[in-house]
Amino acid sequence: MKNRSRLLSLLTAGALALTLTAPALATEVDDTALKEAIAEAEAILPVAEDDVIITTLPEPLPAGLNVEVTQEDEYEVFLEQFTAQYAQEHPEEQAAFDPHAYWQENYSEYWDSEEEFIEEMIEWEGWESADQFDQTMWESYVSDKANQAWQVQEVETYRAAHPGELEALTQEQLLAWLGYTETLTPAQQYMAEFSWAVKTEEEVLPYLLWDYVNDRNWVAETHETFLTYQAQYPDQWAEFDIETFFKEEFAWNGQTKEETMAYLHLLTEEEFVERMFTDYVDYYHWEWDREEDDWGGWDDDPDYNYGSDKPLQLVVNGQVMEDAVLSAQDGWSYADRSTLNAALGTHYVDEGEMISIRAAAEAEGWDVGWNEHENAVFLIDKAAAKERIRESFTALEEILDWSMEHNRLEPGKSYKTTETCDITFTTLNSLDGDTDYKLRVTLEMLQKDNTLELTVKVNAADVLKLIGDDILKLAADEIPQLSLSDLPTLMKGLELNAIADLGSGKFYWNVPVLSVFDDTVKPDTWYGADFGMGLEELLQEGLGLGSEELVSGLTSYLADYIYEEQLLSSSARWWNSPVLAWEEFDDMVSVLDAVMGPDRVSKSGGTLTWKVDTATMNGLFAQMSGTDVSLFKDYELSYVMRNDGTFSADMKMRPDFEGMMKGLYDSYDYYGSSIYSVVSILTGRFMGLLDFQVTAHSAGSMDKATGTMEYHQKNAFKLKLDTETDRVETKTAPALTPPEGADVIMVVELGTELLADFL
């Protein structure tokens, strides 16, 4: 079956989907010659007799929130009226119309046969029978004429409302603004890109003018939306910081204001401001409006209280203090001394006065927050919470310390790392026999301080057998410069080259095989990215620490991040609550602790072992779910690190689908009905068809190691990876730039300030 890029429902709307436009350029032109050229160009978009043109379109909806819907509805009415009127005015043309020839010319590229097309229309487009074929082809034929009439009408309406503006535009100016300036003539480039709509060079200018008019109308409608928003949200308009909004939503990828205006086709500063503010409102108005909205009927529920309608609460480490004595005044919350003593462990003497909760908690090193939705003050023992997170990363900290101690990379020296990965994909077939497909990846890396040079080679010729000759032939047909016999050679020699200068922030990469698919790319074409700062500077700007500090203090950094984002900030969000946020935090840390906590690490002599077993993981999830759930048949993880710098690692994981289903259904079996047991057993057996197992083993040192990993999907396939790694000191230093004479194309260039802000 051929690739399909459109369905019938897209035919009539396709020409209206263009978003190309150009500005009104204030240049001196020969008005007479230009008008004649435009008149000649418009002549190739014929409209039938004058009385066929629809001039009584429905009144447009008020501009504002539904601009796109308004345009679509208006065009659909136009199309319906045009189609009916065209058939009435041209009965002889409809009688002579050949639907099969029309289908062959316009649809055969996307379907193999009319029969297949009709089958899909019946299945997906709601056709009642194949008898609709002739009428649908006629409607598609007429829709092309309707599109032309619609475009001419829009251009002429705009021309009448803006005298002289379109006359000041030339085709060359419009094309140049759209970026058509390369090897082909601009008009040819435009035709190549929009070949489905523009067939000849004479059609280019009318379409360009229509695009320009369509865009100018959109800007006018944005202006109406802006006026609506400005009146609806006066406070937000008064405090709108356009520079901050632009920086956060548009400039993060390096795009300047001028580039953004060109991309959005905005010609003046006023248009830019109006577009930014309408986007700003579209992004955030739901939050401003939420108190006025009907959120699931809560506003109509007399038992539901929101914000200040709820009684003031004090939540301490995720627990509501039911007997807390509280008060609030002028935006400040207070508690009596006995409440604070119980919450914070302080020893205030009761003198009958209320004390500021924030002042008392912060004096003891606790964090204080406010959840407006719950009308709750929450207190969190910051030191204890962060220490709990850090302890849950005990294994990670031990592994990082061991790795840094035995890495043995000395400053100023070069090292060469060679790694080979053999991948074997085995299809399991009980009838015809199992079949192996192999792929080899070799990696060679030169490293010196902050510079890396990497070469990756892939031999994937065996994968062609897995894909099959029928698919390969279709793929080869799409690449004229390749034949089916070329593919094995091509797949044997896939290569990637890369250079990373972490000190300067410059990166280069080269993929020679791209030259096969793109005539503008050569085998020695390199692409580059310059981030304007090195890794150390980047980390200092973004995180306030260097790479060694980040690695050595990674667990503390993770603890700070999890605490701030998953506990402190989450407790204050309006859709959450301090109690729920603490429960989510507690579950997450419990999982981390079960996998990497201090109980998972043991030391004996010169050996450090990190181990996780099946009973621990199943017990954790049973505790969290409150049911006797078994998630794993096997979950064994062991990593042994020795003082001599050697290590060994083993892993085995297999899910228990029957156990999962039993635990799930048991949680709903409130009435002890045996039907839940039957359903859980049957569901577990069905899920068992997806049973799989992962096993892995590796051993060696930081300089030389071997490993193997296997993924086994029950009754389906196995995927096995065998790796071998070797690292030695060498006199050859990594390159800092691509080879001399290579074609280098810089695709990313970011400034220091922009990249730091992005982080």
What's the token pair of residue 633? 């048949």
- pLDDT band at residue 666, thresholds of 50, 70 and 90? low
Q: Bridge-partner residues for 708, per DSSP?
A: 697, 722
Which segments of 3-44 does DSSP mark as H helices, in order? Answer: 8-14, 31-42
The Cα 250–Cα 647 span in angstroms is 48
Q: Report which of 317, 368, 286, 245 is spatially closest to residue 575, judged by C-alpha positions.
A: 286
* Alpha-carbon gap, residue 553 to 316, rounded angstroms: 29
The pair of three-digit structure tokens given for residue 259, joined into one six-digit string: 């580039």
- The DSSP element (H or E) to which 609 belongs, if any, is strand 607-612
Evaluate if pTM is beyond 0.95: no
CB 570, CB 581: distance < 8 Å:
yes
C-alpha distances in Å from residue 171, one per residue of 21, 178, 201, 510, 704: 12, 11, 11, 38, 65
585 and 420 in contact (C-beta within 8 Å)? no
Which sequence spans correspond to the domains of the chain?
27-224, 233-289, 304-380, 394-758
pLDDT in tens, 523-534: 899 999 888 787
Calpha distance 585→573 (Å, rounded): 14
Measured between alpha carbons, how far is 156 from 169 in angstroms, rounded to an integer? 15
Note the pLDDT tens digit of each residue in 328-368.
887 789 999 999 999 999 988 877 788 999 999 999 999 99
What's the CA gap between 266 and 260, in Å, rounded?
Answer: 8
Confidence of residue 756 (pLDDT cuts 50, 70, 90): very low
- Residue 752 has what pLDDT? 45
DSSP 112: S
581 or 166, which is more confident: 581
CA-closest candidate to residue 326, choices 341, 337, 342: 337
Residue found under tokens 């062959």: 104
Which band of pLDDT confidence, cut at 50, 70 and 90, is reported for residue 406?
Answer: confident
Give the C-alpha separation, 542 to 178, whole Å. Answer: 37
**pLDDT tens per residue, range 27-71:** 333 344 434 444 443 443 333 333 332 223 233 323 332 223 334
In the structure encoding, which two tokens stand for residue 260, read together?
A: 């953004």
**Could you report the per-residue pLDDT of 233-277, keeping only the tens digit for each?**
998 898 888 888 888 787 766 678 888 888 888 889 999 999 999
Question: Which two three-digit tokens encode residue 125?
Answer: 């487009």
Q: First-to-last CA distance in the chain?
A: 46
CB 364 within 8 A of CB 604: no
For residue 574, give every residue at least 6 positions away whose Cβ sits within 8 Å of its Cβ, in sequence order, or none: 290, 371, 372, 373
> Coil, helix or strand for 203?
helix
Q: How far is residue 246 CA from its own chain's centroid?
A: 20
Pull the structure tokens for residue 15.
């020409």
| Secondary element (H or E) of residue 332 | strand 332-335
With vertex at residue 157, the alpha carbon angle to CA 282 and CA 200, rounded to the nearest 5 degrees, is 95
